[in-house]
Chains A and B, each alone.
Chain A
Amino acid sequence: MNNLIKAEWFRLRHSGSSVLSGNLFIITFMSLAMTLFQFIGSEGLDISAMSFVTHAGMGIAMSVMVPAAMITGTFDSRLANYEIMKGTPPLQTVLSKILLVLILNTVFYFIPSILLVQIFDSGLLTAKMILLMYVCIAKSIVFATSICILFKSGVGTVIFVFAFAFQTMPLVILQYFTGIDMSAAASWFTATQVMIIGNQLLFDMEDLTLPLDGSYIEIKVIISFMITVAVMISLAHKSLKDKWEIQLTSPA
């Protein structure tokens, strides 16, 4: 796995401005800017840790999407074939890609974001919030990267962004057709969890138009992370092992 990560990091560093510097610039600055603009908008000019976390969803989506597309783009350029043809165990391929996306995200988005919020609001950013946020990011990375491996294309990140943005939509549809109140299930999804993590001390969530069930959020975050890891990594692993031939785009 070490060789895969070393080679991929080398490729990213030597692929010219279009890949590394360009994309990491996007991750670092656009994700941060998007996050900052959003919570500045909602809180006047009062920057707070809670409002950061509340509105971090867009930043997380961006900061996961770009490195996941960069790393799994090797399926589109067929460079990933070298990993397969040298007999790399499929699980190693999956884990190395997830780990590298996690490292890039942590270095270029998560740590700078946390430091930025600490500067503006050092008192309110709790260790629990940071940890739960990080688990939510890791969960998104596992999902996005696995989807891309499943479809053998970096374009798979589009599915991740749609899933992230419209994750409660299936619940709304289900509720419409079954009449069963599905709002409690929403807190099992990442975007909602991020809102709950940030909103816990901000206001009574029962007063919201869409009431958020914030109870046992730590457990829900961890269990949903474990389920995502188990399901998505198994699918990605099986797709590589059994050579599933499902593609979103024509190979290059």
Chain B
Amino acid sequence: MENSVITIRGLSKSYKKHEVLHDFSLDVERGHICGLIGPNGAGKTTVMKIMGGLIRQSKGEMEFFGDGDDLDKNRSRMSFMIEQPIIANNMTARNNIEYIRLLRGYPDDRRVDEILELVGLTNTGKKNAGKFSLGMKQRLGIGMALLPKPEIMVLDEPVNGLDPEGIVEVRQLIKRMQEEWGVTVLISSHLLSELSELCTDFSIISNGRLVENLSREELLIKCRGHLAVRTDNINKTAAVLEDKLSISDYKVIHGEEIHIFERLDEILRISKTITDSGLIITKLNEEGQNLEDYYLEKVGGRNE
């Protein structure tokens, strides 16, 4: 992709003989918010750790800002929050942010107050960060990542432990980062409903393997409204749809249900044709998928 600021090609990571990531590829365009979706242990954090330089890939290549030669130099334009937020428990919120300001060499110390206000930790005073609630720690971690005004932010489960209000605040903050400051965001989360509202692109990963990369538009097309039909013989139903109704835009889901994507205004005709062919309809619903349904369909259900 021409405008890609994160390019990952064939990334693999093995610990001895155990492969935790296999041939993972990803492109994230400038100014986009890409949601990395996958169950626990899918390899999301491994991808982010490799990006942050915390672990080394066994195979594969990365480019940041179109440059794969000096990743460390380009990491200085990025911020990461991987796993739980990293904070000095025996320092206050202000001192944690000041520590990052000094570490990142950010010249203006007024930025510390800006960040405290942005993440709503202005009134924490002399309370040490170790005594913060999980939500406050998450907000502090995000603030520390935001301080150097990065061009790319990599956030691993940033809404973990936040209450509903906190989740909305973080979502708004990320949206603002993208819209006002043009920050590119790679974000992972278990809360798919949050990601579906936030992300412009999605990357689905399962068992260390890339399942699919798709844009929001592609997702909307794939999750578009359909007629869900269940009968006593799915294969024969499919044949009836093709032969008698000339319907070709349909999909058989797990061998037990058909999703018909065309001629949704002809439900009566479709149902009559199926029953006239000697089939028994056990389900006939007009429905649409959301990201969660689509994800579960892609990774083969919650138990797999």
Residues in chain A within 8 A of chain B (CB atoms): 3-4, 6-7, 10-11, 14-16, 18-19, 77-79, 81-89, 242-243, 245
Contact = CB atoms under 8 A, between A and B. Distances in A.
Nearest to B81: A85
Contacts of B100: 7, 82
B268 interface: no
A243 B55 contact: yes
Interface string B78-108: 1110100010111110010011101111000
B91 A14 contact: yes
Nearest to A18: B90
A3 B105 contact: yes
Given A10-B95, A10-B98, A79-B99, 20 more contacts: A3-B105, A7-B99, A10-B99, A11-B99, A14-B91, A16-B90, A16-B91, A77-B88, A77-B89, A78-B86, A79-B86, A81-B54, A82-B86, A82-B144, A86-B76, A86-B103, A86-B104, A89-B72, A242-B56, A243-B55
B75 interface: yes
A6 B75 contact: no
A81 B73 CA distance: 16
B128 interface: yes
A12 to B, nearest CB: 10
Most buried by B among A15, A16, A87, A89: A87
Contacts of A14: 91-92, 95, 98-99
Given A3-B104, A7-B99, A7-B102, A87 B72 contact: yes
Nearest to A14: B95
Contacts of B82: 81, 85
B238 interface: no
Contact of A87 (B55, B74, B90, B102): B74
Nearest to B74: A87
A146 B173 CA distance: 40
Contacts of B74: 87
B13 to A, nearest CB: 11
Given A15-B90, A78-B86, A85-B75, A7 B103 contact: yes
Contacts of B99: 7, 10-11, 14, 79
B55 A245 contact: yes
A14 to B, nearest CB: 5
B68 interface: no
A81 B78 CA distance: 13
A101 to B, nearest CB: 18
Interface size, B (range): 20 to 34
B53 A243 contact: yes
B90 A88 contact: no
B188 to A, nearest CB: 16
Contacts of B90: 15-16, 18-19
7 contacts: A3-B104, A7-B102, A15-B90, A79-B99, A82-B86, A84-B54, A87-B75
B54 A15 contact: no
A89 B75 CA distance: 11
Q: Which 9 A-B pairs have the closest CB atoms?
A: A87-B75, A87-B72, A7-B103, A7-B102, A243-B56, A85-B52, A3-B105, A85-B80, A14-B95
Nearest to B154: A85
B71 interface: yes
Contacts of A10: 95, 98-99, 102
Contacts of A243: 53-56
A245 B148 CA distance: 28
Interface in B94-145: 95, 98-100, 102-105, 128, 144
Contacts of A18: 90
Contacts of A6: 102
B276 to A, nearest CB: 64
Nearest to A77: B88
A147 B269 CA distance: 77
Contacts of A11: 88, 91, 99
A129 B52 CA distance: 46
Contacts of B54: 81, 84-85, 243
A87 B71 contact: yes
B193 to A, nearest CB: 29
A10 B54 CA distance: 24
Contacts of B73: 87
A76 to B, nearest CB: 11
B7 to A, nearest CB: 17
B56 to A, nearest CB: 4
